[in-house]
Amino acid sequence: MSEYFKIDPWGTSYIKDYNRLMEEFGIKPLTDELISQLPFAHRLIRRKIIFGHRDLERIIISIRSGETYAVMTGIKPSGAFHLGSKLTADEFIYFLMLSPKAFGYYAIADLEAYADNKIPLDESYKIAVDNLADLLALGLDPKRVYVYRQSEEMRVLRLAFIFSRGVTYNTLRAIYGEQRFGLYFSALVQAGDILAPQLPENSGPKATIVPVGADQDPHIRLTRDLAQKYQGEFGFILPSATYHILLRDLTGMEKMSKRNPMGILYLSESLESAKKKVMNAFTGGRATAEEQRRLGGEPEKCVIFRELLSVHFMENDAKLRELYLKCKGGEILCGECKARAWEIISKWLSEHKKKKEEMLDIAVKLLEEHTLA
Amino acid sequence: MSEYFKIDPWGTSYIKDYNRLMEEFGIKPLTDELISQLPFAHRLIRRKIIFGHRDLERIIISIRSGETYAVMTGIKPSGAFHLGSKLTADEFIYFLMLSPKAFGYYAIADLEAYADNKIPLDESYKIAVDNLADLLALGLDPKRVYVYRQSEEMRVLRLAFIFSRGVTYNTLRAIYGEQRFGLYFSALVQAGDILAPQLPENSGPKATIVPVGADQDPHIRLTRDLAQKYQGEFGFILPSATYHILLRDLTGMEKMSKRNPMGILYLSESLESAKKKVMNAFTGGRATAEEQRRLGGEPEKCVIFRELLSVHFMENDAKLRELYLKCKGGEILCGECKARAWEIISKWLSEHKKKKEEMLDIAVKLLEEHTLA
């Protein structure tokens, strides 16, 4: 069995060979030509952190022709928003900003939080409100999104039920490998999440973009297979997707885990705690200052440079490039660089917290609204 | 693999060896002693058409102590009520009549009708109204039942989702054999149907009786396993069940099938059509009238005697016994017997139709109500 079969949306696998992934499964590279057709390119796209896509062309056509399209994502409300949640949230908001005709669907996977993490629904409701407040503070327009809890959204579970008749155990095993039964069930619910925006109640078939991490491609493949299979019945348009590379935690570990709290930066944690984490982050520094001045640092290995500044906190490409060159040239050492990074990050965190505070009421309303597009 | 592993709730298998079924899977015989503890015995029980049970003692305790218990059943709204539907309906109503504290839960499996028979939800809604009118005409008290459509009942699908985390593919395969994925999914939904009456919203854990055909035991076993597994979380009391023998169609076929329309008697079909079916029913008659007078008939093989009169249309035990003896003694031949049976059946059908007509409005209300116990 080849290496990339290991990709597992529930696991902690780390995919390094994106080219092979693209060749094997038909994810296409996000070319400069395609990027040039977007109204504007997000830093994640400019920096090729989003490296691949399926059928992004369809979304570009929708944008250019002023047609409605759906942007779909979600969250498992099992804890506070962290940098990983922010990454997908940034992508979600970006695809909404590309056209006034885009409409967002945001799934709160509270049944999964219950089944996997034993979080009761009233508890995950509170977490969801908190998560939504973060999402709004990141720039989501509450008028352009339908937020729903899995536990309340009959249409999605109905689709999952219908889709369950359209797949065999062997198909699911081929896509996901041998898994607990419930994970197959979840996969069908996620297919329901992604295709529900195309139901008649949501004004019918439309292009849909789902921004995901590379490890989530099995879900996209299953969903596209099902969209094909039920095309006659529902008229589904195969959903489009973009793929971002998998990122490390602050300590440089490839596997994110709550058991390694120093690795995860929460958007709402205290500045004191956040500072400790940033200052202890894994860098591309050399063994000694002398060596680093002589050989230069290794920014491509550095969490401060990649996971923090490139992905999240340094919007300006020229400044990022300047930092890269200075590091490579041994002109800036890790201590100074971390201090600068912390200045940017702490400012961002402080502002975010303020915005989030103002968003809590809207978050509650958004969850209670439960309206349709 | 032993013979009785073949029992398949979705198939058309016919179980003859009930003793082996009971030994293998722990279904207990419905003893005279147990029957004597019931407030009154239904003809199906007196005649051992209901031959076995699981934990019926628990229901008897509830009846005697005046405790609330649930009676659970359902229907797939894919066609009109026929004698098979009536059998389960009679059992459902009987268990409700045993105690004023019993409350009924009736599931309309419209998602299954959609997934299996391509019946759109608005279409199956109409069928469900018709089915419910039959059920009410059979004697169901509308104030003592919660009727719900699968497609609208979030609580049941939520449970199915949760249960999916509690089973493996291997467990499901051991119980059901190799099946399409969707049938496993349905099995979990049915477990949700059976255990939903014990949710906090339905006033919590309680004894539940599910009257089923012997071929449905896999569902009961799975549900009891899940009730055990999630006992800590939900406090479930293992559901009780009664089992009736599997009956033949009017033509004597062990496999009921809509492709054999002469085999199925619908409660609302025209008297003309019904008469044709009854008159053509499979009997225990001999090759010639002479032979039958000499040897006597074989009522135990006769659909008129067993499936029609014993199971459904002759309430009086003494009369049934008299008919049995006359048939065995060659004193009554099939022609005369069929004519008498038709007299009873046609009268019943005419009365039922009248009652049903009056129940249609209540059926609509019951479906729209969607209230809780």
Subunit contact B181:A181, Cβ cutoff 8 A: no
pLDDT given at position A8 = 57
CA atoms within 13 A on the CB side of B201: 10
A252 interfaces chain B, CB cutoff of 8 Å: no
Average of per-residue pLDDT across B206-215: 96
Q: Chain B residue closest to A165 (CA)?
A: B182
**Could you give the CA distance from residue A334 to residue A327 in angstroms, rounded to a whole number?**
8
- CATH 1.10.240.10 domain position(s) in chain A: 261-356
Nearest CA distance, A326 vs chain B (angstrom):
51
- CATH 3.40.50.620 domain position(s) in chain A: 3-246
* Higher-pLDDT residue of B370, A162: A162
Query: Looking at this predicted complex, what is its ipTM?
Result: 0.81
Query: Which superfamily is assigned to B3-246 in CATH?
Result: HUPs (3.40.50.620)
pLDDT given at position B16 = 63
Cβ(B210)–Cβ(B239) below 8 Å: yes
Distance of CA A256 to CAs A14, A218, A253, Å? 10, 20, 7
CATH topology classification for B261-356: Tyrosyl-Transfer RNA Synthetase (1.10.240)
Per residue in B265-281, pLDDT (tens digit) is: 999 999 999 999 999 99
**Could you give the CA distance from residue A194 to residue A181 in angstroms, rounded to a whole number?**
21
* Phi-psi map region of A111: left, alpha, beta (phi>0 left; psi -120 to 50 alpha): alpha
Cβ(A173)–Cβ(A49) below 8 Å: no
- DSSP string computed for A243-257: EEPP---TTS-SS--
pLDDT given at position B19 = 79
Cβ(A222)–Cβ(A252) below 8 Å: no
CB atoms within 10 A of CB B157: 27
Nearest CA distance, A152 vs chain B (angstrom):
7
Q: Chain B residue closest to A113 (CA)?
A: B162
Subunit contact A182:B167, Cβ cutoff 8 A: yes
Q: Does B1 score more than 50 pLDDT?
A: no
Subunit contact A164:B185, Cβ cutoff 8 A: yes
pLDDT given at position B2 = 37
Cβ(A167)–Cβ(B183) below 8 Å: no
The 3-state DSSP class for residue B72 equals strand
Per residue in B158-194, pLDDT (tens digit) is: 999 999 988 988 889 889 888 888 889 899 999 999 9
The pair of structure tokens assigned to B176 is 């059901």
pLDDT given at position B177 = 85
Comparing CB atoms, the residue among B154, B182, B185 nearest residue A151 is: B154
The 3-state DSSP class for residue A141 equals coil
pLDDT given at position B10 = 57
The 3-state DSSP class for residue B212 equals strand
Which residues from A are below 8 Å from B234, CB to CB? none
Cβ(A328)–Cβ(A296) below 8 Å: yes
Q: Which long-range contacts (CB under 8 A, 24 or more apart) does A135-139 make?
A: A135/A81, A135/A89, A135/A92, A135/A93, A135/A106, A135/A363, A136/A355, A136/A356, A136/A359, A136/A362, A136/A363, A136/A366, A137/A352, A137/A355, A137/A356, A137/A358, A137/A359, A138/A86, A138/A89, A138/A90, A138/A93, A138/A352, A139/A93
**Could you give the CA distance from residue A347 to residue A343 in angstroms, rounded to a whole number?**
6
pLDDT given at position A169 = 86
B165 interfaces chain A, CB cutoff of 8 Å: yes
What rounded mean pLDDT belongs to chain B? 91
Q: Chain A residue closest to B233 (CA)?
A: A118
Greatest pairwise CA separation for chain B in angstroms: 68
CB-based contacts of B229, cutoff 8 Å, min separation 6: B166
CB atoms within 10 A of CB B33: 7
Subunit contact A185:B158, Cβ cutoff 8 A: no
Select from B159, B162, B185 the residue whose CB has the most chain A CBs within 10 Å, as the one to mutate to test that interface: B185
Q: Chain A residue closest to B113 (CA)?
A: A162
**Whole-prediction pTM:** 0.88
Which one, of A265, A234, A232, lies nearest residue A248 by Cα? A265
Cβ(A92)–Cβ(A146) below 8 Å: no
Greatest pairwise CA separation for chain A in angstroms: 68
pLDDT given at position A345 = 98
Main-chain phi, psi angles of B48, to 5 degrees: 55, 30
B81 interfaces chain A, CB cutoff of 8 Å: no
pLDDT given at position B165 = 87
Subunit contact B168:A180, Cβ cutoff 8 A: yes
pLDDT given at position A143 = 95
Per-residue pLDDT 10s for chain A (373 aa) are 333 334 555 554 455 677 777 887 889 999 999 999 999 999 999 999 999 999 999 999 999 999 999 999 999 999 999 999 999 999 999 999 999 999 999 999 998 898 888 898 899 999 999 999 999 999 999 999 999 999 889 899 999 999 998 898 888 988 988 888 888 889 999 999 999 999 999 999 999 999 999 989 999 999 999 999 999 999 999 999 999 998 999 999 887 777 888 999 999 999 999 999 999 999 999 999 999 999 999 998 999 999 999 999 999 999 999 999 999 999 999 999 999 999 999 999 999 999 999 999 999 999 987 543 3
Residues of A (101-160) whose Cβ lies below 8 Å from B: 111, 114-116, 151-152, 154, 157-158
Comparing CB atoms, the residue among A161, A166, A180 nearest residue B165 is: A180
A to B CB pairs, distance under 8 Å: 78
Comparing CB atoms, the residue among A111, A157, A164 nearest residue B181 is: A164
Which residues from B are below 8 Å from A184, CB to CB? 164, 169, 181
Per residue in B111-145, pLDDT (tens digit) is: 889 888 889 889 999 999 999 999 999 999 999 99
B172 interfaces chain A, CB cutoff of 8 Å: yes
The 3-state DSSP class for residue A199 equals coil
Q: How confident is residue B11, by pLDDT bands cut at 50, 70 and 90?
A: low
Which residues from B are below 8 Å from A115, CB to CB? 161-162, 164-165
**Could you give the CA distance from residue B103 to residue B342 in angstroms, rounded to a whole number?**
35
Main-chain phi, psi angles of B53, to 5 degrees: -160, 165
